[in-house]
Amino acid sequence: QLHLQESGPGLVKPTETLLLTCTVSGASLTSPNHDWVWIRQSPGRGLEWIGNIYNGGTTTYNRSLRSRVTISIDTSKNHFALRLTSVTAADTAVYYCARTIMLRSINYYGVAVWGQGTTVTVSS
């Protein structure tokens, strides 16, 4: 049974860097055709896709965040991470990690597994 668990600071100061991790149990981060995803949700912006990492390190990001975001994988800890620099109040949100199965240009199976989410507040 695949389980995802987000962790990170609940409070970050403006201009600082946010680092969140998603610990994966029940699957390998190098499984073929698995995309590991970050999505966030805020009252003002709704659900917002941040980016995916797949094939052990290939990434795709929302261009609205691309200059500030990095998603990486640490197979030794079986987790993947989100790094968001120069945060502002607009980055206050619940952050979810998730998994989808994507056979690029062939098939796709939806974002079927989600973590419970972690709340991040950006405030001084």
Partner 1 sequence: DIILTQSPLSLAVSPGEPASISCRPSQSLLHRNGHNYLDWYLQKPGQPPQLLIYLASNRASGVPDRFSGSGSGTFFTLKISRVEPEDVGVYYCMQALQSPWTFGQGTKLEI
Residues that bind partner 1 (CB under 8 A): 46-49, 60, 62-64, 96, 98, 100, 102, 105-112, 114-117
**Which residue number, 75 or 116, has a Cβ lying nearer to partner 1?**
116
Give min distance, CB of 76 to partner 1, in A: 27
Smallest distance, partner 1 to C-beta of residue 74, A: 23
Do 82 and 65 meet the contact criterion of CB atoms below 8 Å apart? no
Q: Which is nearer to partner 1, 15 or 119 (CB)?
A: 119
* 8 A C-beta contact, residue 84 and residue 18: yes
Q: How far is the CB of 37 from partner 1 (least distance, A)?
A: 9
Q: Which C-beta is closer to partner 1: that of 27 or that of 114? A: 114
State in angstroms the smallest separation of the CB of 20 from partner 1. Answer: 15
Angle at alpha carbon of residue 96, lines to 41 and 89, rounded to 5°: 45
Q: What is d(CA 70, CA 57) in angstroms, rounded to the nearest whole number?
A: 11
Check: CB of residue 20 under 8 Å from CB of residue 81. Answer: yes
**Closer residue to partner 1 in complex, CB, 16/31:** 31
